[in-house]
A and B are shown apart, each in its own frame.
Chain A
Amino acid sequence: MSTNRWFATGNFYTTYREEQRIFRTHVDRLFFILFLMGLFAWPLFIDASNRNMLVINNILIAVVAVYGLNLVTGFAGLISIGHAAFVGIGAYTLAGTARTIGDSHMLITHCWPLMILISGVVGAAFGAFVGLPAMRLKHLYLAIATLSFQMIFTWAIQFMTFFNQGQMIAVGRVFWINGQVGRSDHYRFWYYVILVTAVICGLAVRNLLRTRYGRCLVAVRDNDRAADAMGMHPGLTKVYAFALAGFFAGIAGALHTYMFRGAGFESFTLHHSIIYLAMAIVGGLGTLPGSLLGPVAIQTLELQMEHLSEWAGSFLPASMNLATALRPLGFGLVIVLFLMFEPRGMANWWRICRSYFKLWPFRY
């Protein structure tokens, strides 16, 4: 019988190829393309202020970084509390190059896609290096090893004069086809660049799960002895997972440096590692929509806390540091509440939405 390629209405897969498709139905693909077009088109119509663009760019950079974290912690099951260090490595690759060859050198301002890729590769190299203990350690011990890597990274940046001892290293403005990107266009330009990167990375991750390596990852997470018996190498898989996480994080770091026009050590501390983990978990560990929803939720939460505390500060006594107290309080409460009541994260809500529509117009 001929299958309806436009609506799903249940699962009627008859070949493996059908099951592995990224877009199950034409409607799926259509909505996705419309969504992408919307994302690309809205800055042309709505003039968002610099600060809002800055926030959106931060969200998108976090999305790229959390792709990597979701890969290593969600799909491979290796807890990593040092993700900000990988992002920092990408950022400092770029900043270190800027410091050596001058921050307005042609390589940095003109060949910036190349520099971003190089930062990703360096991040992957460090990721593989940190992943080596993963071959021997499990669970808690691996988490502590990544934590110590984070602390060593922070100390090393602050100590080495090559990295300006942790102080800001400036990076110049980049050039695009029509000349230098000036201050007024800066955030919008980088919005497009980061959006393109996020979309490409997202498609890459989605595709990863239908390759042989993706299945390796899931198998190793579920039971690595069985995976070993099936002929996969769990140790190498784990190292490769860390390398991939490092790659995405490195790219995110380079984008961060370009967008902030500089790199300073305070953006890559343990606190930020914890924020990335929170984004991954609140979004939904081990899912692709989770990497998108998590950063949006956490950033929105931070902004809301700021608004709330400014509003409350107008009538509460000033001796209570409400503004500064609300931020960690809100953050902690959200994480704890999500873990207590919705451990599968916001991606679970998305999944419920989608499965409702999958069977539509039927109810069950």
Chain B
Amino acid sequence: MTYFFQLVVSGVVVGSIYALSALGFVLIYKSSRVLNIAHGQIIAGGAFIVYALTVWAGVPIILSFLASMVITFFLAMSVERVFLRRLIGEPIISVIMVTIGLMSIIDGVIYLTPFGSMNYSFPEFLPSTPISMGGVSISWTQLVGVLITFILIGAFSWFFKRSTIGVSMRAVSDDQLASMSVGISVPKVFGLAWAMAGLSAAAAGGIIGNITGLNFETLRAFGITVFPVVILGGLDSIIGAVVAGIIMGLIQQFAAGYLDGNWGLNGTADVLPYIILLIILLFKPHGLFGTHEIERV
């Protein structure tokens, strides 16, 4: 039984990381209908900025975490301003290809730094003995990661429900023309959406970097694994991103725990999300919490 609970705990930890990565993705889609394929790269960038601030500039880790979030906030906003502002109104294939091009550009910029090919790891700033209760153990870094994730998600939900800017972002995602007629600046909202996505990506990157170490390949793979999560949850639902993230984490851990090793299967945890993605797309394309657009079959 402890095996099962250990899997559940690991699944929640991994799932909350997915949830945080998916959050940024959903934010961008919700307000501007853009699939941001470069999200993994922004996560990686945020992680490297945290590392650079902590290790090279000697800033205490909490401050560098916050500072990295602020820096990525502005970086993402400028990315939107420079590259995507021109493409408002273009067909969707062009916008997807621009984010793909952005992905390559950020890749190239990161390869120019030593982060692109070497491994780095954060200095240990939390006690390394794990917390264990009844045979199930979780390390301090993982626990802090989960806590930060939920705090951030709570903050975002509050922001969207209560603050004026949040409400105006929701208005833009609902109907751009109507919100323009009410006086909301739609381009500003797009920029803000990207900026907040950058914020959550930096947080996700910082947490992942602490748990698994900084390896560019691993971090950028998040940009692709986030797709099954957002489709499962619904492309434009924040709650969906969180719930789907946790579900996906759990499914992956259960697959690794019970399917791998039997029948010569290996690495099922990597492919199972995509099989689920296909199944969801065929039967319920809007996911668990997405808005159901009237589609003709």
Listed in ascending order, the chain A residues whose CB lies under 8 Å from chain B are: 73, 79, 133, 135-141, 143-145, 147-149, 151-152, 155-156, 158-159, 225, 270, 274, 277-278, 281, 285, 319-322, 324-336, 339-340, 343
Contact = CB atoms under 8 A, between A and B. Distances in A.
Interface string B263-297: 00111001100110110011001000000000111
Interface residues of B, number: 46
Contact of A321 (B97, B103, B112, B277): B112
DSSP majority for the B interface?
helix
DSSP majority for the A interface?
helix
A128 B270 CA distance: 26
B108 A343 contact: no
A95 B6 CA distance: 43
Contacts of A328: 104-105, 107-108, 111
B130 interface: no
B121 interface: no
B101 interface: yes
A156 B186 CA distance: 44
Contacts of A329: 104-105, 107-109, 111-112
Contact of A274 (B100, B278, B296): B100
Given A139-B92, A148-B277, A332 B224 contact: no
Contact of A151 (B92, B112, B224, B282): B224
A177 B293 CA distance: 60
Contacts of A343: 90, 94
Interface of B: 35, 83, 86-87, 90, 92-94, 96-98, 100-109, 111-112, 114, 116-117, 224, 227-228, 231, 235, 265-267, 270-271, 274-275, 277-278, 281-282, 285, 295-297
B87 A339 contact: yes
Nearest to A143: B96
B76 to A, nearest CB: 16
Contacts of B98: 335-336, 339-340
Contacts of B281: 133, 137, 141, 144-145, 148
Contacts of B228: 148
Nearest to B105: A332
Given A321-B112, A327-B108, A144 B102 contact: no
A149 B271 CA distance: 10
A73 B93 CA distance: 9
A147 B227 CA distance: 9
Nearest to A136: B297
B116 A324 contact: yes
B93 A155 contact: no
A138 to B, nearest CB: 7
B227 A144 contact: yes
A336 B101 contact: yes
Contacts of B111: 321, 324-325, 328-329
A22 to B, nearest CB: 28
Contact of A332 (B94, B103, B270): B103
Cβ-closest 3 pairs across A and B = A329-B108, A332-B104, A335-B101
Contact of B83 (A148, A159, A278, A340): A340
